[in-house]
Structure 1
Amino acid sequence: MTDDTTLPGKLDSETRCQLRRFLRPLLDAAPDWPGLARTLAARGYTLGFRDGRLLVIDAMSGRPICTGSDLDRPLAALARRLGRPRLRATADGHSAALAAR
């Protein structure tokens, strides 16, 4: 279970740069949403969605570490390339996860 009830805090420039170097190529190479989820899972991350934002979540702690915008790959840009993600909303009405196909 993920703690995607909050958005990650503002990242310092060095952390943001390191996350971009490591995670952005994974987002850029993804063929589709399920493929992106599998690639991130293999590296210890999951995807989440909160208030219209894409979140990259640490799978071990369940805490969001950054948004797609922090990686210069906002949800809207990924949706244009990969299509709209199929989401399963949570009870709070603000969060969602990728739906199984």
Structure 2
Amino acid sequence: MTPHLHRPLDSETATMLRIVLRPIIDGATHWSGLTGDLDRKGYRLGFRDGRMLIVDDYSGEAISTGSAIGAPLSALSQRIGRPPLRMSGDGRSAVLRCQA
């Protein structure tokens, strides 16, 4: 497994992500709705090495894991089901099929 999936977050950025994104993730009832809601805020989800990543749409960089902001993939999957993933050619990363 890759030791660093994203650059470490400073506490202010981590707090901002929790404030802005946690309500969206916590309120999601399906993956396509979550995708649209995150897109409107300038973020998308990525998946690598079994972890859900928060990706900044502007830079295309993974900025956090779901777990780092208190929204682990396991809890989200339990609540709304397994994510519909499309694997990339590297066999280690994926994107949601319902996102562009």
Fold shared by both chains (TM-score > 0.5)? yes
Shift of 1:100: 3.5
Instruction: Provide the rounded CA distance (Å) in 1 between the counterparts of 2:60 and 2:96.
Output: 15
Instruction: Provide the rounded CA distance (Å) in 1 between the counterparts of 2:83 and 2:60.
Output: 21
Shift of 1:10: 1.8
1:98 alignment counterpart: 96
Amino acid at match of 1:52: G
Uncovered stretches (5+) of structure 2, i.e. residues with no partner: none
Percent of pairs with identical residues: 51
SS of the aligned residue for 1:42 comes to helix
* Number of equivalences: 96
Task: Select 1:64's aligned residue among 62, 65, 85.
Answer: 62
Instruction: Provide the rounded CA distance (Å) in 1 between the counterparts of 2:9 and 2:54.
Output: 13
1:88 alignment counterpart: 86
1:77 alignment counterpart: 75
1:25 alignment counterpart: 23
Give RMSD over aligned pairs. Answer: 1.5
Deviations 1:37-75 (A, max 9, x none): 000001111111011111111111111111101111111
Q: Which runs of 4+ in 1 moved over 2 A?
A: none
SS of the aligned residue for 1:20 comes to helix
Instruction: Provide the rounded CA distance (Å) in 1 between the counterparts of 2:59 and 2:47.
Output: 17
Shift of 1:14: 2.1
Shift of 1:31: 1.2
- What TM-score results when the alignment is normalised by the length of structure 1? 0.88
- What TM-score results when the alignment is normalised by the length of structure 2? 0.89
1:3 alignment counterpart: none
Task: Select 1:52's aligned residue among 50, 53, 61.
Answer: 50
Uncovered stretches (5+) of structure 1, i.e. residues with no partner: 1-5
